Amino acid sequence: MTATLDFDATSRTMGGEYELHYHEAGSGPVLLMLHGSGPGVSGWSNFAGNFPVFAEHFRTIVLDMPGFGRSPAREWNDVYPRVAADAIRYFLDELGIDSVDIVGNSMGGNVGTEFALAHPERVRRMVLMGPGGLAVNSFAPPVSEGSRRLFEFLANPTREGMVAWVDTMVGNPAVVTDELIDQRLANALAPGAIANTFKIFQTFSDPRFADRPQLWARAAQVQQETLLVWGRDDRMLPYEGSLFPFRQMPNAELHVFSRCGHWAQIERKADFERLTVEFLNR
């Protein structure tokens, strides 16, 4: 049976150019895990359940990206994924790590891909679960149900709103517990958290930062072996949007889970872990 890992025992901080919080355990090749966005998110909230399993195979690092978890917000002087990708560059430099494998969920997939494009020699393989920025959806409304519920919560942050948003993240509501809702809500209502989340999302539409093509338009430049993972019932980034990056990325493979929404690492936990370990170790 896989041992559990304690939050405090694995907690680390880094100062300097970027102030970053992370968790680390295990040994071997380095695996960097990047969480998604949304109210109350952190590296731990996304990956606490998977962390011990991956730490049995890799030196596993679960990062709180800038402005999330215990990594403080900053002035956003570029579109968020490029800021976070530069933070990863600094983070790896400070730890003396030359290259990594990346697991990225949603926004974390966006950030991981930006890092891979900026520093291709430092990324070996990637597993991207419903990666933001890469999906191109021609079969659903331009604003997904998950996005709509997310911004409804940010505009009126109530417990009912959190329940409604989290419901769009999963295909099986049974995996959502009161504890999960309460933890996410408490984190989302921390002082300044919602205002900072708005500021992060606003960077995507800020004309000052529109100096290069969007990520999906650069998908063909991603050379790393990449496993795209989607839930067939994803209501945040519908799985039909996976076909574009799968077709464009020259070394991509695609796995779609049935009975699964946006949180494959939670809903199909054991299957996701097995699939990821096999892909990274082959």
Question: Is 262 an annotated catalytic residue?
Answer: yes
CA distance to 58, 232, 273, 282, per residue, from 277 (Å)? 9, 21, 6, 8
> Read out DSSP for the chain?
-PPP--HHHHEEEE-SSS-EEEEEE--SSEEEEE---STT--HHHHHTTTHHHHHTTSEEEEEE-TTSTTSPP----S-HHHHHHHHHHHHHHHHT---EEEEEETHHHHHHHHHHHH-GGGEEEEEEES-TTT---SSS-SS-HHHHHHHHHHHS--HHHHHHHHHHH-S-GGG--HHHHHHHHHHHTSTTHHHHHHHHHHGGG-GGG--S--GGGGGGG--SEEEEEEETT-SSS-GGGGHHHHHHSTTEEEEEESS--S-HHHHTHHHHHHHHHHHHH-
30 neighbors 50 (Cβ within 8 angstroms):
no
**Catalytic residue of the set 21, 35, 255, 262:** 262
For residues 109 and 102, give the distance between their C-alpha atoms in angstroms, rounded to a whole number: 9
User: What is the set of active-site residues?
Assistant: 262
